[in-house]
Amino acid sequence: MAGFTLAVLAFCAMLTPYLLDAFLANYLLNGSILLVLAVGIIYIFRQVLMLTPEVRWLEHLRRESKGGLIFPGALSGERPPRLLGPMSTMIGEKRGKLSLSTTSMRTLLDSIQSRIEESHDISRYLIGLLIFLGLLGTFWGLLSTINAVGDTIAGLSGSAADPAVLFEDLKAGLSTPLAGMGTAFSSSLFGLGGSLVLGFLELQAGQAHNRFVNDLEEWLSGITKLGGGGGGFGEGEQSVPAYIQALLEQTADSLDTLQRTIARGEEDRIQANRNLAALTERLGVLADQMRSEQNVLTRLAEGQAELKPLFARIANLDVSTVNLDDTTRSHIRNLDVHLERLTGEVASGREQSVQEIRSEIRLLARTIAAIAEETEQA
């Protein structure tokens, strides 16, 4: 930055006669532009030079932290830093090895970066002010030129017989418009040239601040603990203690397990609903079968009731009193045997049907009880 400033001064010294003529075109406006330029140069140099105590304080802190202990009394002899003010406040009077959490490091760097951005606002404003003063002089000179040209044209006398007199009047009248043009171009020259000088110095200052922040970030990265279990500076800050982190991890695992349990319970509930629907369908089929078997039993009972009078007559019939031949007797005996067999089959069929119905009802009761127990467990 000093080399660039000296080079600009040497170039201006070489062009002193020309720049002096341009400056005298409107020394008030051009003097204001040069004054703003000088203030901007001094301010930008001051912003860069203010990094020296910051770097000195940081280097002192690094040397102290390498030994594992921080002695605030040794740092108190240094001038309190301006950019590193949050860092100095966080250290305070704590002793011990420096340790920083990830969140604290990011917060600290953001605070320092915001302070640096605020320091650059004034220099950016001065650059814009130089451009504005240059444009202001340009429009001011053009306005003066237009008014002077109008006055010159209005002051020319068309009745003058001597062209030499007319030409002298024209030259006298054009001196004012030419002075306005000098104001316009000289203010533009000094304003734009000054903005270029301040722009380059501001660029260099911004790079110096960025290098300072990058070096600070690299050093802080070496003392930062990942995972949130580490403490902050010394013993003053512990963003997330180890037991809290373990508790949070356990809570997260428990929530995950609970979610899976709820999902399985939902699946079991859906399966239970399906089983209930299938059971309802089976109960409907069983009810139809029971009605069919009931109809069959009813018809068997009616048929048995119809056969009872015949059995009674046969039982009361005295075969010895009837004169029947051997063939008829044989048929009667066969009929008697078949009727007994039919009666036994009807009785056994009814008993078997009752046993089957009891078995189906018992199976149905067990199924309903099992489904109710599964539903209560879900």
Give domain limits for the chain: 2-240, 244-377
Residue holding tokens 């409107």?
Answer: 26
Q: Name the strand (E) or helix (H) holding 362.
A: helix 326-377
Spell out the per-residue pLDDT of the chain, length 378, in tens: 999 999 999 999 998 888 888 888 888 888 899 999 999 999 999 989 988 888 888 888 777 766 544 444 444 455 657 777 777 776 655 555 566 667 777 877 888 888 888 888 898 999 999 999 988 888 888 887 777 666 666 666 555 555 665 566 566 656 666 667 778 888 888 999 999 999 999 999 999 988 988 888 888 777 766 544 444 444 344 445 666 766 777 788 788 888 888 988 888 888 888 888 888 888 778 778 777 877 777 777 777 666 666 666 655 655 455 455 667 667 677 777 777 777 777 777 777 777 777 777 777 777 777 776 776 666
Closest CA to 60 of 51, 49, 71, 50: 71
- Which residues, at least 6 apart from 293, have a Cβ–Cβ distance to it below 8 Å? 353, 356, 357
Alpha helix positions (H), 50-157: 51-66, 72-76, 85-91, 102-155
Residues 225, 38: Cα–Cα separation, whole Å? 47
Q: Which residues pair with 101 in a beta bridge?
A: 225
pLDDT for position 36: 93
Place of tokens 């059995």: 311
Q: Are 119 and 265 in contact (CB under 8 A)?
A: no
Structure tokens at 250: 């356990």
Question: Distance (Å, rounded) from C-alpha 1 to C-alpha 8?
Answer: 11
Integer Cα distance of 105 and 164 in angstroms: 82
Nearest Cα residue to 91 out of 203, 292, 235, 217: 235
Task: Quickly count: other Cβ atoms within 10 Å of residue 239's Cβ.
Answer: 17
Q: Which amino acid appears at position 336 of this protein?
A: D
Cβ-contact 124, 206 below 8 angstroms: no
What pLDDT shows up at residue 11?
92
Determine how many CB atoms are found less than 10 A away from the CB of residue 42: 10
pLDDT at 82: 76
Q: How far apart are CA 56 and CA 76, in angstroms?
A: 13
Confidence (pLDDT) at 69: 46
Quick one: residue 147, left, alpha or beta (phi over 0 = left, psi -120 to 50 = alpha)? alpha
Q: Quick one: which of 93, 91, 85 has its CA closest to 111?
A: 85
Task: Evaluate whether 113 touches 213 at the Cβ level (below 8 Å).
Answer: yes
Residues 6 or more apart whose CB falls under 8 angstroms from that of 61 comprise 70, 75, 91
Closest by CA position to 196, among listed 56, 14, 7, 50: 7
Burial class of residue 162 (count of CB atoms within 10 Å of its CB; 0-12, 13-18, 19+) = exposed
Would you list the DSSP string of 148-204? HHHHHHHH--TT---HHHHHHHHHHHHHHHHHHHHHHHHHHHHHHHHHHHHHHHHHH
By the 10 Å C-beta count (0-12 exposed, 13-18 middle, 19+ buried), 209 is classed as: buried
